[in-house]
Structure 1
């Protein structure tokens, strides 16, 4: 039998015998079928969509499969010209059955556990379901490519029709409205412009409205006289904000003040009570990294807070600014992803959005809460679809449950929110976790949005970096790629459209496409 992650791997020399290889695969299949069915039965009562049942079963089987270390088995299959199981995500059992049936023919003996080769339709059923679920979320794909393009709208989109029309005309298939900014009046203006552009160009364009979620940010910043930047070794006092930063911060700069160290506050003050000495606290997407050195630091004016020591900062220093994100990588934050503002915004969003972007979602209860709130506002209308933004380590570990409880009831997608996720799990793990999210979602036939800093230099400055072009090309493995707002967004859409179209001739998800090469 194959090893699990806690057991010693199988001897590859034994697997060189095709009969041993066949019996190993048959035992693996039996284990996967039993464990997968058991897991699926635990989920069954939460699945209301009949067309998601087979996807949920495949996800359960994939999770059961990936509990085993398959590397020696993969190497043993290659010399026989058989699938190495490296592209098994969308079709776990059909792939195993195909390999076993073919290997049985190679062995030339009757198997104790006969397995017929799966029909072509069942082998590619997972691909069909992924396409079906993607269309349920984003609508039909554009003629020239499989992967959709999503664009974040700036405030000006509410009044600048030419800008919106250019986005749609150049290839935007979905637009994102960030509800952390602007007002319902502005959102309505953006929506009207998108609908007009879609109608005039004959190009469908979905609208995703992204709920703000808990805004864990810095408030007003006080800086010691003569100091403008924070350096490694400096100390920062983090206290409770009494007001929202928009009301509290007069500018985007620190206020010079006769204080001994930099001071700022946290807009979600209950978090501070959860932090202990040596807890890491990251500021401004990790540009400033600190650790707690004192939990009850008092000031002469009677205020108190946490004393942080800067452990990482640029050698040239970093400006500590108001309204910058705070991350607590190793701390479980018991926060609801739906704030009072989000609940108020939902009154508008539920009526106008095709898709809702769900920030800071971490647990199945978070999914159920949003579904309940939407049901209360449905008024007989179809409910907007949900995209869960995966931006914390807890969300990653709970991803199977998030998928089951969301996709089991409605069209659903996952966004890899690489900005916060990188800070939360560490930049060195981002690529690894990004891959695992893609695999898991493909196993569940759930579409994925590849987000954060795609072609960022091009969008902001008009010229992409080489690394960004490679990142954009690799984004073809998702079902949608998101661009952020910037002055060169129209040019970025054109280039991304071209890159994705070209890459689809070379690769589909993880599978290389061996088209004829004409470069040599």
Structure 2
């Protein structure tokens, strides 16, 4: 017979676990007592939820992985689903241990404390989600939010179809369009609600203090025209040009290579078969062959490549004319690793923005929309451009300029244009979340929206300022969506939640675009997990946003990774889609994915290491 293995006393192991859990519970209750000033300030709707958030933060200050393993070894809960009812979870395990290994003096081990239990925790989250986002559709628990394109202001069938396919919340971004268009979008939604018998909330995003590139002057006004050629350079079809009157320009009746505007009197003298000659910008002689003409305009064929400027003179059978307008292309800087780039306060000199390359000896120059941040940027800090496509390190700061060395870009170069985002994740920027433009837009928002999204929120004061301004407007005080899109906003999330919970309703949007740049793409998965856990502990609904089914919405096919990402959105209370030509199909597919996932997944169990943001509240660390 095999030799029997002697096991350690199970009672001894139970007793050790009992001591550890009792110490954890003591820390959780003490943390709530220390944070009582903040807890007493929350709205009654969130009273239990705020206590649970502080309990959870105190729990997650510890690395619980060894304890989890020990609990699992003896067949007890490993605390992996404690988010919605942190104290009740610990109490349940303690109660089991008390039955298995009763201590000699159990008095005072489990003093009563107000906290959500296993039933009330999920119920509170559901109630808060319904209050903010409206009730979910029958077949799924997760709502769908859709960002409106400008087209929604003039295309009622589009809004109606989005609602029919599954849209639960219309998102209007105040950074685009204007109040007249926003009003029409909402009117279309209300009409569709009446026709379909469905309901849909309206969320409006305040743009916030977005740092962007600016100042690059437009490129030269040159229009390149070329015929269609095969792989050997032989002409397959001429360039087909639509010539129209500048006084009353008409769109080309069919697809054209380009449209050129000329004086109507000059065009009336042209007839089919006429030849129009000109010398292009390179000095090359070229001809246009007229193929048709009418009061609206005429067709002309070009058989050789030509470059046209506003100064190019076209000679017809009786007279000459110039093109009314040649569009100026958008200029850019081509940046490679090692290049020098200066962010400047004054306007960029025209010579700096020819669409060429930056060199390591002659730095490229580009402006910044908020140059006041220069005073708060330090050498050695990171800087990112255009959603993280280009990265660099600040080398020097001087009055009116920040000197940057490019460290991240494609070897062949990455184009940097005007109006591209700038992220400074290491810099402490004193920018309030509300701009003067946001305050102007807020007057419309409080009258027409169901919730307002606060972009680039980074401190509880930002939330207070928005609340105060809504009160000053004398209208409704809307629920606030905290858009977590900066590193500072993520670090301050516990304090932001407790401040937002002073209202009767609130929510959080994980704005994964800027957040990935700020925290590092490699950390995004970890960061969004922490946000989900904290919001579940606070019973605050979460909106999973940015690039969900992006390829599909923009007109292509969704990637496998995008389908998986959309399915993971089932762990939030709402998933947001961005606008695109195929956004209706994206809503339909997302609705199907979420219905399927509703049968397979609800939230998540996890290994509980020490949580970075658990240290964000001073009260938890014994500080006054």
Q: 29-38 or 119-128: which moved more? A: 119-128
2:147 is aligned to: 152
Indicate yes or no: 2:91 matched with 1:97.
Answer: yes
| Residues 34-183 of structure 1 mapped to structure 2, 5 A cutoff | 34-39=30-35, 41-47=36-42, 49-107=43-101, 112-113=106-107, 115=110, 122-183=117-178
**1:43 Cα deviation from its structure 2 partner:** 0.6
2:411 is aligned to: 315
For 1:121 and 1:34, the matched residues in 2 are separated by: 17
- Judged with a 3 Å threshold, the aligned counterparts in structure 2 of structure 1 residues 458 and 288 are, in CA distance, closer, same or farther, namely same
1:300 is aligned to: none
1:198 is aligned to: 193
For 2:219 and 2:520, the matched residues in 1 are separated by: 31
Verify the 8 A CA contact 2:334 2:356 in the aligned structure 1: no
Q: 325-334 or 111-120: which moved more? A: 111-120
What secondary structure is seen at the aligned counterpart in 1 of 2:554? helix
What secondary structure is seen at the aligned counterpart in 1 of 2:430? coil
Q: 434-443 or 223-232: which moved more? A: 223-232
For 2:114 and 2:394, the matched residues in 1 are separated by: 60
What secondary structure is seen at the aligned counterpart in 2 of 1:176? strand
1 or 2, which has the higher helix percentage?
1
Indicate yes or no: 2:398 matched with 1:296.
Answer: yes
Indicate yes or no: 2:178 matched with 1:189.
Answer: no
**1:215 Cα deviation from its structure 2 partner:** 2.5
Verify the 8 A CA contact 2:165 2:584 in the aligned structure 1: yes
2:28 is aligned to: 32
Indicate yes or no: 2:434 matched with 1:356.
Answer: no
For 1:481 and 1:15, the matched residues in 2 are separated by: 48
| Residues 220-369 of structure 1 mapped to structure 2, 5 A cutoff | 220-221=215-216, 229-240=334-345, 255-256=354-355, 260-296=362-398, 305-369=401-465
For 2:14 and 2:425, the matched residues in 1 are separated by: 47
Indicate yes or no: 2:441 matched with 1:445.
Answer: no
Verify the 8 A CA contact 1:281 1:289 in the aligned structure 2: yes
Verify the 8 A CA contact 1:284 1:325 in the aligned structure 2: yes
For 1:57 and 1:15, the matched residues in 2 are separated by: 33
- Judged with a 3 Å threshold, the aligned counterparts in structure 2 of structure 1 residues 495 and 233 are, in CA distance, closer, same or farther, namely same
For 1:370 and 1:165, the matched residues in 2 are separated by: 32
**1:120 Cα deviation from its structure 2 partner:** 13
Indicate yes or no: 2:429 matched with 1:429.
Answer: no
Unpaired runs of 5+ residues, structure 1, are 1-11, 298-303, 513-520
For 1:155 and 1:13, the matched residues in 2 are separated by: 70
Indicate yes or no: 2:28 matched with 1:19.
Answer: no
- Judged with a 3 Å threshold, the aligned counterparts in structure 2 of structure 1 residues 126 and 255 are, in CA distance, closer, same or farther, namely same
- Judged with a 3 Å threshold, the aligned counterparts in structure 2 of structure 1 residues 372 and 15 are, in CA distance, closer, same or farther, namely farther
For 2:75 and 2:592, the matched residues in 1 are separated by: 35
- Judged with a 3 Å threshold, the aligned counterparts in structure 2 of structure 1 residues 511 and 348 are, in CA distance, closer, same or farther, namely same
Indicate yes or no: 2:468 matched with 1:472.
Answer: no
- Judged with a 3 Å threshold, the aligned counterparts in structure 2 of structure 1 residues 461 and 315 are, in CA distance, closer, same or farther, namely farther
Max radius of gyration: which structure?
Answer: 2
Unpaired runs of 5+ residues, structure 2, are 1-7, 221-330, 607-624
Give the structure-1-normalised TM-score: 0.87
1 or 2, which has the higher strand percentage?
2
- Judged with a 3 Å threshold, the aligned counterparts in structure 2 of structure 1 residues 277 and 118 are, in CA distance, closer, same or farther, namely closer
**1:107 Cα deviation from its structure 2 partner:** 2.5
**1:30 Cα deviation from its structure 2 partner:** 2.2
- Judged with a 3 Å threshold, the aligned counterparts in structure 2 of structure 1 residues 224 and 459 are, in CA distance, closer, same or farther, namely closer
- Judged with a 3 Å threshold, the aligned counterparts in structure 2 of structure 1 residues 15 and 426 are, in CA distance, closer, same or farther, namely farther
Verify the 8 A CA contact 1:455 1:468 in the aligned structure 2: yes
For 1:340 and 1:292, the matched residues in 2 are separated by: 29
Q: 327-336 or 382-391: which moved more? A: 382-391
Verify the 8 A CA contact 1:254 1:322 in the aligned structure 2: no
Verify the 8 A CA contact 2:552 2:558 in the aligned structure 1: yes
Verify the 8 A CA contact 1:222 1:257 in the aligned structure 2: no
**1:136 Cα deviation from its structure 2 partner:** 0.9
Residue-by-residue CA offset, 1:296-322 (whole Å, 9 max, x unaligned): 38xxxxxx5222221110123111100
Residue-by-residue CA offset, 1:188-246 (whole Å, 9 max, x unaligned): 11111111112211111110000011131001326999996211112222112669xxx
Verify the 8 A CA contact 2:332 2:356 in the aligned structure 1: no
For 2:386 and 2:490, the matched residues in 1 are separated by: 22
What secondary structure is seen at the aligned counterpart in 1 of 2:383? strand
For 1:453 and 1:285, the matched residues in 2 are separated by: 12
Q: 468-477 or 216-225: which moved more? A: 216-225
What secondary structure is seen at the aligned counterpart in 1 of 2:20? helix
For 2:332 and 2:178, the matched residues in 1 are separated by: 36
Verify the 8 A CA contact 1:235 1:307 in the aligned structure 2: yes
Verify the 8 A CA contact 2:571 2:604 in the aligned structure 1: yes
What secondary structure is seen at the aligned counterpart in 2 of 1:91? helix
For 1:294 and 1:119, the matched residues in 2 are separated by: 54
- Judged with a 3 Å threshold, the aligned counterparts in structure 2 of structure 1 residues 18 and 206 are, in CA distance, closer, same or farther, namely same
Find 2:483's aligned residue among 389, 409, 414.
389
